């Protein structure tokens, strides 16, 4: 049986399926006092926009809140909404930064995506707010 891998493409969703509406915040009671919040996961997945094959990453979100903090349960749902989205790494990290910065309006925020090695190449993408 012949199988042309170059013609194979698994189905996936577009970035419009990223669920920003699930994000919630709570009041930061120490506004005016800088505290850096760092959130990490090594279980992040999205898919390759060419093949539909899964991509895996460690994501590190660090921010200094102003008035609001991101509620973690809602952040988990937000991150899970990427699971079947075909998106380039560089776009993913910048999209995440835009969504999360809009959600909580922090003093500063940095998103770092460390994507697993594929084909001998590892990609690490970092985006910061304010730019």
Apex CA 128: angle with CA 81 and CA 85, to 5°?
A: 20
Domain extent listing, the chain: 19-129
Q: Is 66 a catalytic residue?
A: no
What's the mean pLDDT in 45-63?
Answer: 96
pTM over 0.75: yes
Give per-residue pLDDT as tens, 64-110.
Answer: 999 999 999 999 999 999 999 999 999 999 999 999 999 999 999 99
For residue 104, indicate whether it is catalytic: no
Residues sharing a CB contact under 8 Å with residue 30, sequence separation 6 or more, in sequence order = none
| Spatial CA neighbour of 98 closest among 109, 89, 87 | 109
Choice among 48, 66, 98, 99 that is catalytic:
48
Confidence of residue 21 (pLDDT cuts 50, 70, 90): very high
- Is 60 in contact with 111 (CB distance < 8 Å)? yes
Class of domain 19-129: alpha beta
- Which of 55, 69, 103, 104 is the catalytic position? 55
């Amino acid at each position: 049986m012949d199988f042309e891998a170059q013609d194979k493409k698994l189905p996936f969703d577009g970035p419009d399926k990223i669920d920003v509406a699930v994000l919630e915040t709570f009041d930061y009671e120490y506004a005016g006092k800088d505290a850096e919040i760092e959130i990490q996961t090594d279980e992040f997945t999205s898919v390759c926009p060419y093949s539909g094959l899964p991509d895996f990453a460690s994501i590190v979100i660090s921010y200094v809140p102003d008035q609001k903090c991101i509620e973690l349960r809602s952040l988990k749902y937000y991150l899970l909404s990427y699971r079947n989205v075909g998106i380039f790494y560089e776009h993913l990290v910048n999209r995440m930064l835009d969504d999360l910065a809009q959600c909580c309006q922090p003093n500063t925020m940095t998103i770092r995506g460390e994507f697993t090695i594929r084909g001998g190449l590892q990609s690490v993408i970092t985006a910061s707010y304010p730019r």
